[in-house]
Amino acid sequence: MNKTSSTKFNFPVFFMAMLGVVFLVIFNYLPMFGIIIAFKDMDGVINITKALVTKPFVGFQNFIDFLNDKYFRDVMINTIGLNVFQLVLSFPAPIIFALLLNEVRHLGFKKTVQTITYFPYFVSWVVFGGIVISMLSSDNGIINVVLQKLGLIKEPISFLANPNYFWSIATVSGIIKGLGWGAVIYLAAIAGIDVEQYEAAIIDGANRFQRMLYITLPGILSTIVILLLLSISNLLNSSFDQIYVLQNQLNLDRSEVIDTYVYKIGISEMRYSFTTAVGVFKSFIAFLLLWGSNTLSKKYLNRGIY
């Protein structure tokens, strides 16, 4: 290293890095300080900067209001229920898919499957959700037609008009859209496993299934744990685009989650303080979940994010 360059203050370099800092101050740190809105009563105010100074603190009133809100129970059940449901089913899917894909020796076939299954990830949820809605339609939608042909149902079902189907629809459509792309990171991890391990296992007489179970799976365990921890800390973050597109008045009972609720009452009804409190509540739970799951993971799996 050139000694003079490491000791001298390099202004252009500092300036470039500070541009990022300035950006973050405006678009990330200012909103963080905006959390005080949750402790004031600023619902419906027009001049925010003025109200931030003049309005008195109301303590935890907005949080209490949320806990007593008539939608609180449903919104919490939906947010947690839907996400747990999705986590349990859609978390393992890309891992299994990556393991199966890894067993394919025909390179052309593998590439084709990858090209096809990655694709839905790149279209928007508006497009994909729009397709899902029409496929599920009770009006000659393909799903109803197939189910009727198979004799599983007699009358067409209006799937999206019944709240009870919503979680399943969101989960299955989410798996189809994200399956292929979700496998990419695991395939990268598998590619990083030392080939010698497989060679040694073959000499020892391990069959393919044993190699998958005792070499490939442990080889990607770190990746699995990190992604699982991140998913758990995201338990209250719903996929807004997806839920919003699939949601309608008829399935609202099981489709209204924190994110869609905050959008509706926060921006449309200008209940700034109330919804900020909901947001803070959400971040707080997310932090607890990340901390808790990371602690457990460190204790039992010796792996963690930090």
Partner 1 sequence: MFKRKSSLNKFDYFNYIFLILISCITIYPFIYVLAGSFNQGTDYMNGGVYLFPRVFSLDNYKMIFNDNRLYIGFKNTIARTLIGTPAGVFFTAMVSYGMSRKDLKFKKQIYWFNLFTLFFSGGLIPYFLVLKTLSLNNSFWVYIVPNLYSVFNMIIFANYFREIPEEIHESAVVDGAREFTIFWKLYLPLSKPVLATIALWVGVFHWNSFFDSMLFTTDPKLQTLQLFLVKLIKEASLGQGQANIRVPAHVMSTISITTVRYAAIVVSSIPIFMLYPFVQKYLVKGVMLGSVKG
Using the minimum distance from each CB to partner 1, give the nearer residue, 83 or 266.
Answer: 266
Contacts of residue 56, Cβ cutoff 8 Å, sequence gap at least 6 = 40, 41
Q: Which is nearer to partner 1, 134 or 295 (CB)?
A: 134
DSSP-assigned letters across all residues of 57-70: B-TTHHHHHHHH-T
Least distance CB 7 / partner 1 (angstroms): 8
| Site for partner 1 contains 266 (CB under 8 A) | yes
Closer CB to partner 1, residue 167 or residue 261? 261
Residues of this chain, 166-225, that bind partner 1 according to CB under 8 A: 176, 179-180, 184-185, 188-189, 195, 198-199, 202, 208-209, 223
CB of 86 to partner 1, least distance (A): 18
Q: Does 283 bind partner 1 (CB under 8 A)?
A: yes
Contact 289, 233 (CB under 8 A): yes
CB of 166 to partner 1, least distance (A): 14
144 close to 160: Cβ distance less than 8 angstroms: no
Nearer to partner 1, 84 or 100 (CB): 100
Smallest gap from Cβ 87 to partner 1, in A, equals: 19
Answer for the pair 257, 306: CB distance below 8 angstroms, yes or no: no
Amino acid at 245: V
- Which residue has tokens 């799951």? 293
Token pair of 176 as six digits: 């189809």
Q: How open is the CA angle 178-166-76, to the nearest 5 degrees?
A: 95
Interface with partner 1 in residues 85-144 (CB under 8 A): 97, 100-101, 103-105, 109, 112-113, 115-120, 122-135, 137, 139-140, 142
Give yes or no for residue 53 binding partner 1 (CB under 8 A).
Answer: no
> Which member of 217, 234, 240, 303 binds partner 1 (CB under 8 A)?
240
Q: How far is the CB of 135 from partner 1 (least distance, A)?
A: 6
Nearer to partner 1, 145 or 221 (CB): 145
Kindly state whether residue 9 participates in binding partner 1, applying the rule CB under 8 A. yes
* Shorter beta-carbon distance to partner 1: residue 68 or 249: 249
Determine if 21 is a binding residue for partner 1 (CB under 8 A).
yes
Identity of the residue, 194 or 199, whose beta carbon is nearer to partner 1 in the bound complex = 199
User: How far apart, in Å, are the Cα atoms of 21 and each of 6, 113, 157, 233?
Assistant: 21, 42, 53, 26
Instruction: Map residue 160 onto helix, strand or coil.
Output: helix
CB of 74 to partner 1, least distance (A): 20
Give 86 or 276: the residue with its C-beta nearer to partner 1: 276
243, 260 contact by CB (below 8 A)? yes
Cβ 61 to partner 1, closest distance in Å? Answer: 16
Q: Interface with partner 1 includes 31 (CB under 8 A)?
A: yes
Q: How many residues does the chain have?
A: 306
Among 14, 253, 269, 292, binds partner 1 (CB under 8 A): 14
76 vs 256: CA distance, rounded Å: 9
- CA dist 248 and 162 (Å) reads 10
Q: Which residue type occupies 293? A: S
Question: Which of 124/164 has CB closer to partner 1?
Answer: 124
- Show the DSSP H helices in 136-257 as ranges: 142-149, 166-191, 195-203, 208-211, 217-219, 221-233, 240-246, 252-255
